[in-house]
Structure 1
Amino acid sequence: MSSNAATGTGNTSSEVMMGLILMFVSVLLSPLIDIFSKLAITTIPSAEITAARFAVQALCMLPIVLWRRNLTDITWRQSFFHAIRGAIITVSMISFVTTLKYMAVADAIAIFFVEPIILTILSSIFLKEKIGWRRYTACGVGFFGAILIIQPSFQEVGYVALLPVVSAVCIAISAMMNRALAQREDPWVMQFHMGLWGLLICAILLHLGHGSGSDVLDPVMPDARAWLYLLGVGVTAAIAGIFGVYAYRAAPASTLAPLQYFEIVSATAFAWLVFGDFPNALKWLGISIIMGSGFYIIWRERSFASRPVSDTSGETRAP
């Protein structure tokens, strides 16, 4: 097929290839957000790390939304939805970053990747999307894989091992809200406003937590090294997010979705290089089951649905 041939989805084969390359770079860089977060969490509370990410991402997106001249094309009703999305994403990010203080990066990301499975179930309940018994079975198998990772982690760190699941549920809820908004709003403006609301919510939480001694909410003044870690969180999140946005513009979500699971592999590699963490055989089994279930759900949706229910294109993942 030539580079100008249509792929049947409105994208040429060359555009799809570019989308695949951009998504590969995005998922390759995304674990660095978690690596910097884990380095920062030793001295910085998770809400402050989350606020830094929102701040840097918003600053990176500001020139783009100003150039597109549609920053103010938003109603009060839409602002209300963005505020809710900002709150949900804030809870998701704080939950995930807090996890990184106690768990290995690869383990936390693997548990988080039950998110497409959760989204599939929630979409069938609230959006009335038709889900067959095969995908429900795949969801059950995927949760079993997550339990194989959670169970030994739960013995080591307690209820903290469940925080990636909380993060995944929040992202799934936000993704469903995204569908209602994405049809009539610019994705850059959506992400910019969500970032502003997230930053405001984090600022309120940090103000309320000041002096509490909480390692989640009590703000501290970062030292020079911590400032670099916080900058790393925000910059890598912004770059990975921009690559992801343009990847979804170039290629269909159903084509790109399987590449998202490469993040587990790249996260394992980065975590091993930086922290010496490497999953044991039982956790690798759980990771393999989660990935296999996710691939099957994506394949079924790609075969039978016009838009996959597990599509989280343009969504902000937990750090």
Structure 2
Amino acid sequence: MNTKTLGYSTMIVSAALMGCVGLFARNINTSGDVIAFTRMTVGAICILGLMFYQGKTSLIKATKITSTVIASGACLGLCLAAYVSATQYTTLANAVFLIYTGPVFSTILAAIFLKEKISKLTASLLTAVFIGCLFIIGIINYSATDGLTVSLSFSKENFIGDMLGLASGVGYGLYLFFSRYRTDVSSDSRSFFNFLFGAVAIGVCFVVKPPSLADMNTSSWIWLISMGFFIGFGALTLLTIAAKHLKAAELACVSYLETVVGAGIGIAMFGESLTLLQSIGGILVIGGGMGEIVISMTKKRVALKNSQLEH
């Protein structure tokens, strides 16, 4: 499997798992920072155990810890904590929209600091999935009386939640951006340090505001640990692998698949429904994200075929 195929494959699975966050979170009776801390901690323990079993722990010792390694993990942990907390203080639409400004931030930062070129086609696909995301979460809506409306607002009542949502978006964008540095670090080691420094960053927040576990029952603990394994260890490890093999814009396109998975779970398991605009949004997200993959694969096949004909 070539590096691009590996990057796209791991990113698709990661986005699908991340789309299951709502399913797990609705069954856990605690705050968002506790959920995020558990995801980071379980992820760190699992990847360390896996590396020990494979005899790769020497890779951890050999890794030079730099500011970007620490920053990527810290940004990932804090953005996840801020996102879940944001849903408790503002509307879900605002929270989801604001965290998904992250890939846009990372694409702009990568273009400025890493000199990554954004083709017109990639920019068009990124725009398509972004607009599709707005349709799905209801930021852009339509009614016979009001016509096409944009519902994002920063009211006094939602200010704290909106600021947390914006922080989660910035944190996610910075994580994607910092992940493009130090590509010399193995995926296993990078995953471990992402989990570790993510947990440490959230742990520092616990010192300022201690968490409450008073409402946690047996069912909540089972859901919490399961979430830590599947959406912590599984999804974020795959995201780390993808970030090593894909450009920021490519990651951005495919990451929006998460909104489609989340909407599908809502329909199948919670009796939620999609409006016409949300359905169109889903098509835009899938078409934009998959379009990046299909076009990349097609170019490689054409190039390979031309190379074979020349020889």
- Determine if the alignment matches structure 1 residue 277 to structure 2 residue 272: yes
Which residue among 38, 51, 74 is the counterpart of 1:65?
Answer: 51
Q: Assess, with a 3 A threshold, how the Cα gap between structure 1 residues 220 and 103 changes in structure 2: closer, same or farther.
A: same
Any idea what the Cα deviations from partners look like across 1:134-183, whole Å, max 9, x if unmatched?
Answer: 5445555554444443344659984546765643442232222222212x
Q: How does 1:46-125 map to 2 (within 5 A)?
A: 46-66=32-52, 67-70=55-58, 71-75=60-64, 78-101=65-88, 112=99, 115-125=102-112
Shift of 1:296: 5.3
Which shows bigger deviation, 150-159 or 167-176? 150-159
State the Cα RMSD in Å: 4.1
| Contact 1:147–1:286 (Cα < 8 Å) also in 2 | yes
- Aligned counterparts of 2:224 and 2:124: Cα–Cα separation in 1: 40
- Aligned counterparts of 2:63 and 2:266: Cα–Cα separation in 1: 41
Q: Assess, with a 3 A threshold, how the Cα gap between structure 1 residues 303 and 114 changes in structure 2: closer, same or farther.
A: farther
- Aligned counterparts of 2:242 and 2:126: Cα–Cα separation in 1: 27
- Aligned counterparts of 1:136 and 1:28: Cα–Cα separation in 2: 23
Q: Assess, with a 3 A threshold, how the Cα gap between structure 1 residues 302 and 124 changes in structure 2: closer, same or farther.
A: farther
Shift of 1:278: 3.0
Match of 1:317 in 2: none
Q: Look up the SS of the partner of 1:52 in the other structure.
A: helix
Q: Assess, with a 3 A threshold, how the Cα gap between structure 1 residues 297 and 50 changes in structure 2: closer, same or farther.
A: same
Letter in 1 for 2:213: V
- Aligned counterparts of 1:137 and 1:227: Cα–Cα separation in 2: 43
- Aligned counterparts of 1:171 and 1:90: Cα–Cα separation in 2: 9
| Contact 2:260–2:285 (Cα < 8 Å) also in 1 | no
Which residue among 223, 234, 242 is the counterpart of 1:239?
Answer: 234
Q: Assess, with a 3 A threshold, how the Cα gap between structure 1 residues 302 and 114 changes in structure 2: closer, same or farther.
A: farther
| Contact 1:116–1:294 (Cα < 8 Å) also in 2 | no
- Aligned counterparts of 1:72 and 1:274: Cα–Cα separation in 2: 44
- Aligned counterparts of 2:158 and 2:274: Cα–Cα separation in 1: 18
Match of 2:176 in 1: 175
Q: How does 1:161-310 map to 2 (within 5 A)?
A: 166-182=167-183, 184-210=184-210, 218-221=211-214, 222-237=216-231, 238-241=233-236, 261-295=256-290
- Aligned counterparts of 2:84 and 2:99: Cα–Cα separation in 1: 12
TM-score for both structures, normalised by structure 1: 0.67
Gaps of 5+ in 1: 1-6, 211-217, 306-319
| Contact 2:19–2:262 (Cα < 8 Å) also in 1 | yes
Match of 2:21 in 1: 33
| Contact 2:74–2:198 (Cα < 8 Å) also in 1 | yes
Any idea what the Cα deviations from partners look like across 1:180-239, whole Å, max 9, x if unmatched?
Answer: 212x212111111221122122122112113xxxxxxx4334222221221121011223
Letter in 1 for 2:278: K
Gaps of 5+ in 2: 140-149, 301-311
- Aligned counterparts of 1:179 and 1:248: Cα–Cα separation in 2: 7
| Contact 1:92–1:171 (Cα < 8 Å) also in 2 | yes
Aligned sequence identity (%): 19
- Aligned counterparts of 1:170 and 1:116: Cα–Cα separation in 2: 10
